[in-house]
DNA sequence: CGCCGCCTTGACCACCATCAAGTGGAGTGG
DNA sequence: CCACTCCACTTGATGGTGGTCAAGGCGGCG
């Protein structure tokens, strides 16, 4: 069984077999974390780097008035906090949304790896830049896309990301989120998240059974959301759910 | 006259005099750029790293339907694209909003500096993490804050950032933006940006004369916006416009 | 002088928030 | 085995924040 972190980095950078083994060696120390459990909270200063191997986690911030905004999803293969050793303290929290398996990697191991293997240094660099790209894209969605396209865009992105780590098949993937968590992600109320989901279902864009979500026609959903996967910076879009020959760039709803 | 980039890095990391001189040496090659000019556009792959020394620039993305979202402001001292050499191509564009002075730094110079001086490597790392923190905070605002607080929050942030590079005095700073650019930043229409500004003016939170904006009572505006500067990761908030002893954390409107 | 941005104002309307109530399934204890 | 609870999802009614459309004022500049 393949390591999702290695799969993800291979989707965006070129690595040798030896590189992959070095990466894999980082993830030996694993632990199970139940759903709805914080891994790190705001204003802490963590020692280990965390990596999601299975499950689903998120980055979030809570406002004084109690409202919460989820600012990133962390799916298998994603580092939670590759960086934060540089900063004094966290400016946000990280918590699981579903039962997960997490690897704890000592910061020193990461530092040593990047000092000795420039290809891996570049790969980790790449991963953080993709995270930043996703953040920008979410901001664009919040500012400019109406609810339905915002949701549709998120579902497209998740499909691509899950696919890159082998967690999507046949346009379907497992999305262990409540509608209220979706709402906190998309900046809308639970009620409206519900109605927006129904809209996409009635439009034939998606179908759901339990926590499985299926996208019968990915190109159609992409078009609706004007989803352009370039911000994920995978090496080629063709293997990642896009029918060959279809470039989304610049298409119009 | 101090170099804004050096000032900014000193606001967040500890540097020696020699470090500062090394940094300063990077910025010798300067050039003037008129307002509303792109420095890099989407899907390009730039060779130089750009740095804003004077003026005002932004990161933005344009949607197929023509709407634009500004996803970051680049003020004096900010690097535009410290990173992008790692990625194949840009997923967004960078352009000036006001007449600016920009330094072009060869990527290799940066790489050499970070290889030979770990304190500077850390400082640049820090700068990119702060950019990411700002991005997260903007996303939180978009998702959860109503228009008036969102604008107020942005004005607080800009005050802190301008202050860190010596461009704020007495709660005032120069903000060379049109209301329509503000609107593209805050995810609202020009009309509404105008009305929201009036609201803050009538509330006595801010006053404007031309492009100068003044904040008579920063603590009051902070409170209104529930602005907490921790995400900027400056070493101490006291020098940056916050009255000593006032910590915004957890205050409530 | 006249054009062109930018700011401003008014009227109207839609998207989405809020409030409230009801359904249904999963787990628990009597 | 069946209430009972809890939580996620669903639906309806109502209203407000902010979008859209349209027009007018004002200053700068050719």
Q: What is the pLDDT of residues A166-208, one digit of tens each?
A: 999 999 999 999 999 999 999 999 999 999 999 999 999 999 9
| Burial degree of B64 (CB within 10 A; 0-12, 13-18, 19+) | middle
Tokens of B178: 């049109």
With 0-12 CB in 10 A as exposed, 13-18 as middle and 19+ as buried, what is B47? exposed
Mutation site, A144, A184, A247, interface B, largest B CB count within 10 A? A144
**Whose structure tokens read 């290889």?**
B115
| pLDDT at res. B84 | 77
Alpha-carbon gap: A212 to the closest alpha carbon of chain B (Å): 26
Report the C-alpha gap between B128 and A219 in whole angstroms.
34
Give the pLDDT score at A84.
77
Q: Which residues of B touch A68 (CB under 8 A)?
A: 144
Residue B41: what pLDDT?
Answer: 92
* B186: nearest nucleotide, CA–C1' criterion: D18
The candidate with the shortest Cα–Cα distance to A188, out of A157, A138, A147, A145, is A147
Inform me whether the pLDDT recorded for A16 exceeds 60.
Answer: yes
Q: Which of A9, A139, A233 to probe the B interface (max B CBs under 10 A)?
A: A139
Question: Rounded to a whole number, what is the distance in Å from the CA of B112 to chain A's nearest CA?
Answer: 14
Report the pLDDT value the prediction gives residue A86, as an integer from 0 to 100: 79
pLDDT tens figures, A133-173: 999 999 999 999 999 999 999 999 999 999 999 999 999 99
Contact B87, B43 (CB under 8 A): no
d(CA A199, CA A196): 5
pLDDT by residue for chain B (253 residues), tens only, comes to 589 999 999 999 999 999 999 999 999 999 999 999 999 998 888 888 999 999 999 999 999 999 999 999 999 999 999 887 778 789 999 999 999 999 999 988 998 998 899 899 889 989 999 999 999 999 999 999 999 999 999 999 999 999 999 999 999 999 999 999 999 999 999 999 999 999 999 999 999 999 999 999 999 999 999 999 999 999 865 444 444 444 444 333 3
The DSSP element (H or E) to which B212 belongs, if any, is strand B212-214
Contact flag A86-B252 (C-beta cutoff 8 Å): no
Q: Per the CB < 8 Å rule, is A187 touching B144?
A: yes
Give the whole-angstrom CA distance, residue B142 versus residue B145: 6
Q: Tell me the pLDDT band of A28, cut-offs 50, 70 and 90.
A: very high
Q: In which element (H, E) is residue B135 found? A: helix B118-144
Q: Which nucleotide is nearest to A199 (CA to C1')?
A: D10
pLDDT for the residue numbered A175: 98
Bridge partners, residue B62, by sequence: B68
Q: Distances from the Cα of B207 to the Cαs of A217, B182, B212, B214, B218, in angstroms?
A: 52, 16, 8, 5, 12
Is the distance from CB of B110 to CB of B124 less than 8 angstroms?
A: yes
Closest CA relative to residue A94, chosen from A106, A82, A107: A82
From the alpha carbon of B192, which nucleotide's C1' atom is closest? D18
Spell out residues with C-beta < 7 A from strand D. A 178-180, 190-191, 194-195, 197-198; B 146-148, 187-189, 191-192
Which positions ≥6 away from B31 have C-beta within 8 Å? B101, B102, B103, B104
Rounded to the nearest integer, the mean pLDDT of chain A is: 91
Query: Tokens standing for B65?
Result: 């339907």
Is residue A83 a contact partner of residue A127, using CB atoms and an 8 Å limit? Answer: no
Identify the pLDDT of residue A246. 44
> Which of A 61-120 lie inside 8 A of B, CB atoms?
61, 63-65, 67-69, 71-72, 83-84, 86-89, 91-92
Per the CB < 8 A criterion, the answer to whether A252 and B63 are in contact is: no
- Other Cβ atoms within 10 Å of B190 Cβ, number: 14
Contact B35, B96 (CB under 8 A): yes
**Amino acid A237: pLDDT:** 52
Asked if pLDDT for residue A241 goes beyond 80, the answer is: no
Q: Would you place residue A1 in the very low, low, confident or very high pLDDT band (cuts 50, 70, 90)?
A: low
* Torsion A166-A167-A169-A171 (CA) sign: negative
Give percent above pLDDT 90 in chain A: 82
Instruction: Quote the CA–CA distance of A45 and A91 in Å, as a whole number.
Output: 10
Please state the pTM of the whole predicted model.
Answer: 0.93
Residues of B in contact with A129 (CB under 8 A): 83-84, 86-87
Residue ranges of B 136-195 with Cβ closer than 8 A to chain A: 136-140, 142-145, 184, 186-187
């Amino acid at each position: 069984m393949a390591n999702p972190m290695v799969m993800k980095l291979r989707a965006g950078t070129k690595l040798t077999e030896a590189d992959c083994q070095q990466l894999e060696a980082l993830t030996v120390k694993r632990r199970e974390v139940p759903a709805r459990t914080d891994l790190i909270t705001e204003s802490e200063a963590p020692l280990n780097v965390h990596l999601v191997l299975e499950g689903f986690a998120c980055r979030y911030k809570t406002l004084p008035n109690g409202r919460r905004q989820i600012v990133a999803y962390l799916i298998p293969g994603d580092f939670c906090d590759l960086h934060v050793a540089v900063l004094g303290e966290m400016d946000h929290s990280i918590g699981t949304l579903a039962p997960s398996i997490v690897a704890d990697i000592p910061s020193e191991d990461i530092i040593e790896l990047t000092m000795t293997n420039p290809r891996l240094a570049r790969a980790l660099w790449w991963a953080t830049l993709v995270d930043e790209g996703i953040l920008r894209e979410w901001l664009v969605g919040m500012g400019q896309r109406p609810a339905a396209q915002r949701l549709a865009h998120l579902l497209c992105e998740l499909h691509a990301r899950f696919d890159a780590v082998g967690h999507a098949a046949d346009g379907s993937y497992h999305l262990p989120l409540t509608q209220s968590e979706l709402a906190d992600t998309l900046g809308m109320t639970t009620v409206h998240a519900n109605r927006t989901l129904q809209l996409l279902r009635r439009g034939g864009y998606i179908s759901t059974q339990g926590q499985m979500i299926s996208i019968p026609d990915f190109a159609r959903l992409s078009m609706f959301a004007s989803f352009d996967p370039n911000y994920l910076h995978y090496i080629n879009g063709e293997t990642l759910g896009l029918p060959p020959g279809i470039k989304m760039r610049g298409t119009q709803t």
